[in-house]
Amino acid sequence: MKLLLTFVLFFCSTGCFSQAGDYLIKNNGDTIWGDIKLKGSVFYVKGANPASCKAEDVNKIKSRSYKGNTVVTCTLQLYTDNIEYLEMDYLAKEAVDTVMILSEIYSTPKINLYYGVDDFRAPFYFYKTPTDAKPIQLVVRFSLEGGINGLYNDPTKNISGASRIALVEDRGYVNQLHTLMGDCEKIPDFMWELLSYRIYSLKQLIKNYNSCN
């Protein structure tokens, strides 16, 4: 009896262990189990049945190698807020075709919020409504303004004031969300003015949006 119980416990523990492993879920619902690595735009699965899948055919993953689980192939609008890489009076609009693995950080009936980072650890936010096929990037960019060039635009400025340089945020994400939520009476004007590219700020906006009829 003890021997039989030992075998039962062994097979149960083996089954639980296999279910706790890494896997990916394709768009058609198929699940492939095994260690997952992303190279370029292809997921390679090393397991009992090795396989490879294009990232565009993958919906979700569970992997110890990645923090997120929602897979999105997209043209990522890049940005940096590091003044060492910004040019004066120039707004860079760079983009790259890539694969983002996002974490769903806020789920609500009307809109979900996602978070991910690129290879340089820059944070990116995405949103998805029930009518969207996949998460959509919330776009932000930064530029520098001011400096000595201000003297040419307004000669009455003193040299110290004209030499000040400011980091300016292009808040494209505000326009995106206002187009979606602008008619919500529960979102006051000051909330749009103070909205920032931060988790707490975006979550508060979504919370108000969900309170609208």
Residue holding tokens 């003297």? Answer: 151
Same domain, yes or no: 116 and 182 = yes
Same domain, yes or no: 57 and 124 = no
Domain that holds residue 148: 67-213
Beta bridge partners of 200: none
Same domain, yes or no: 127 and 39 = no
pLDDT at position 181: 96
Q: What's the CA dihedral at 36, 37, 43, 45 to 10 degrees?
A: -40
Task: Give me the CATH number covering residue 54.
Answer: 2.30.30
Same domain, yes or no: 186 and 135 = yes
Of 66, 82, 101, the position where a domain reaches its end is 66
Tell me how many domains the chain contains. Answer: 2
pLDDT tens, 157-171? 655 555 678 889 999
Same domain, yes or no: 189 and 85 = yes
pLDDT tens, 4-51? 434 334 444 444 434 458 999 999 999 999 999 999 999 999 988 899
Same domain, yes or no: 2 and 43 = yes
CA 184 to chain centre: 24
Same domain, yes or no: 174 and 197 = yes
Could you give the CA distance from residue 94 to residue 85 in angstroms, rounded to a whole number? 13
Of 66, 90, 113, the position where a domain reaches its end is 66
Same domain, yes or no: 86 and 188 = yes
112 vs 49, 91, 123, 128, 202, CA distance in Å?
34, 29, 17, 5, 11
Identify whether the C-beta of residue 45 lies closer than 8 Å to the C-beta of residue 34.
Answer: yes
Of 44, 66, 88, the position where a domain reaches its end is 66
Could you give the CA distance from residue 180 to residue 197 in angstroms, rounded to a whole number? 17
Separate counts of helices (H) and strands (E) for the chain: 6, 13
Provide the token pair at 92: 């860079």
Tens digit of pLDDT at every position of the chain (213 positions) = 444 434 334 444 444 434 458 999 999 999 999 999 999 999 999 988 899 999 999 999 999 999 999 999 999 999 998 888 898 888 989 999 999 999 999 999 999 999 999 988 899 999 999 999 999 999 999 999 877 655 556 656 655 555 678 889 999 999 999 999 999 999 999 999 999 999 999 999 999 999 998
